[in-house]
Amino acid sequence: MLRSATSRGLVLAFALCATLAGPAYAAPKTEKVPPAEVETAEQLYAKLEYEAANAVAERVVKKNGLTHDQLTRAYRVLAVTYAVLEKEDQAKEAFIQLLTYDPEYQADPNLGPKVSGPFQEARGFWRAQPVKPKLEVSAQVSREGGSLRVVTRDPTKIVKKVQVGWRWTPTGDFATSEVEARGTASVEVEAAPSGRTRLDFYAQALDERDSVVFESGNPFAPKSAFAQGGVAGGGGPGNGKKTEGGSVFSSPVFWLLTGAAVVGGGAAVFFATRGGDGPSQAQLSPVLLCGRERCN
């Protein structure tokens, strides 16, 4: 009886994952569509097929020209599946790479010591480094032009080149240039065309496979600065948001759900997804306001 109930719980849980993931496949036309194998690795992980997910993720990370989102998603699957399969050394190295691309990543504690052990070792590696990997770009521009300041921090020296792009128009091609892959660099920005005050810009650091290891904005979601007469700075919060991927596998909820399946063998997922007695009448009753007074 318990086995049957647990199976139903797992089916419901994974059906929910599939439902949530559905809209993420309709990427904007202007963006690169993630390689099918990235999604395949994530789906295999969701089905608890760890060896198959690991094999697919290994193939993905060896591809050329991956976006930052694709690279991060692939290494997330690779690191966790190595750990679950008790390949501790490979898991540690994969977590080190993952923390290179996403220094703020946190492993789900519900996945247990198999995962938390190599993850903590990888964090220890990065704590011993003088700086965290990062790419920053900021703008100082007026209508007469200006410059972009690019700062690259790459303690493990995986960056082979840094590409910078800018444009004064909301659409169209970016003017691009390549700068030093270490330290601070500057890119000159030409004067704005008549009537233009918004500058879109981005910077991306590429590895030997031309995959994006760090980025600050990107061609599909650039950062912005506004020049209104005098000099203007730009690139604050709210600009340069990543719109790629959008996969449910990037959500902490997904990793918590599948983590419960790893630790509890599926039972935890069943109890997490089992419905209760339903909402009470009080919970369903709406509260309507007429001006500042209740109507009901």
User: Three-class SS of residue 148?
Assistant: strand
Which helix (H) or strand (E) segment holds residue 133: the answer is none
Mean pLDDT in each 10-residue stretch from start to end of the chain (296 residues)?
44 37 36 69 96 97 95 97 97 97 92 94 94 94 95 95 96 94 94 94 97 96 84 49 50 57 45 44 41 49
Closest CA to 47 of 271, 284, 262, 289: 262
Helix 50-61 vs helix 68-84: angle between axes, to the nearest 10 degrees?
Answer: 140
Closest CA to 75 of 114, 41, 25, 115: 41
Q: How far apart are the C-alpha atoms of 164 and 227, rounded to whole Å?
A: 19
Q: How far apart are the C-alpha atoms of 192 and 296, rounded to whole Å?
A: 58
pTM of model > 0.85: no
pLDDT attached to residue 282: 36
pLDDT attached to residue 109: 87
Alpha helices in the chain, H assignment, sequence order: 2-21, 36-46, 50-61, 68-84, 88-101, 113-127, 252-264, 267-273, 281-284
Angle at 210 between CA 133 and CA 186, to 5 degrees: 60
Closest CA to 193 of 156, 168, 213: 168
